[in-house]
Amino acid sequence: MFLGFDDGGRRILNPKTNKPIAHIADVTCFEDMRAVCNTKGLLTTGMSLVIDTVTTFEPYCERYTFANVPKTSRDGDTYVTNLKAYGFGEGYSHLRDTFRLFLSDLEILMRQGVNIILLAQEGHHKMKSTSEGSDYSKTGPRLYHDQRCSLVEEVVEWCDTVAWLSYNDLAVVLDRPTDQLGKALGEEDRIIHVSGKPAFWAKSRTLDIDLITFAHKADDSFWRYLFNKETA
């Protein structure tokens, strides 16, 4: 079952059958998402719920937070319209609490035998070096991230498998040593990483391989490995 927050599911065709996929439409707010998760009989054991994307869902969480979590002060409670208005980084903590409600709903579905698949746009996050070296960039889901509060870490910790779809042998080359920006060079072949490195988030609690090919849009090798099916 496909859930696209921009209602794009109605335009997606199964690459193997060329037929429309089953999708859930008209999910326009945080409460709608929770209603989907808690509607009895909608999602049953053995089904898969594909959420496209958690990046798009983050603003839904923000709007829910603004409407339901007031800023507390000596003068009383007031409702705000941006996270920084809570002060002292509290807004991002409130956002994380809201996002955890969403994950708790997914956890219940998962324990009922529903497969949960979270898609995300790619983001690049600044990481603090644990040594005396310089800070560096790490690729992962495009969600809020800083050292104190990270939706990226929430998702990575919750998921059994985190996969990054990239290009094979991608490299950034500088024309001159003084250049600040380089050119991305590499093959057009795509590849799926399921084992992380300092440069990107990826992991798997069930797979004992590092890379899986993705040769074309109907290539289901990743899903066959993930669900313990025979590879074609």
Angle made by CA atoms 65, 90, 53, in degrees to the nearest 5: 45
Unique residue bearing structure tokens 């380089």: 182
Closest listed residue to residue 93, CA positions, set 29, 155, 156, 144: 144
- Tell me the pLDDT of the chain (232 aa) as tens digits: 999 987 666 778 888 889 988 889 889 999 999 999 999 999 999 999 999 999 999 999 999 999 999 998 888 899 999 999 999 889 999 999 999 999 999 999 999 999 999 999 999 999 987 776 788 899 999 999 998 899 999 999 999 999 999 987 655 556 666 655 555 555 668 899 999 999 999 999 999 999 998 988 899 999 999 998 654 4
Phi, psi values for residue 213, rounded to 5°: -75, 155
Q: Which long-range contacts (CB under 8 A, 24 or more apart) does 62-70 make?
A: 62/95, 62/98, 63/29, 63/30, 64/29, 64/30, 64/31, 64/98, 65/91, 65/94, 65/95, 65/97, 65/98, 68/98, 69/94, 69/97, 69/98
Rounded to two decimals, what is the model's pTM? 0.87
Sketch the domain layout of the chain as residue ranges: 1-159, 160-232
**Amino acid 89: pLDDT:** 87
Instruction: Write out pLDDT tens, residues 130-143.
Output: 776 788 899 999 99
Bridge partners, 31 (sequence order): none
Are 29 and 60 contacting, i.e. CB atoms less than 8 angstroms apart? Answer: yes
State both tokens at 120.
Answer: 């995300």
Q: How many CA atoms lie within 13 A of 57 on its CB side?
A: 26
**Amino acid 232: pLDDT:** 40
Closest listed residue to residue 149, CA positions, set 99, 198, 204: 99
Cα-Cα end-to-end distance for the chain: 23
Bridge partners, 24 (sequence order): 3
Are 18 and 12 contacting, i.e. CB atoms less than 8 angstroms apart? Answer: no
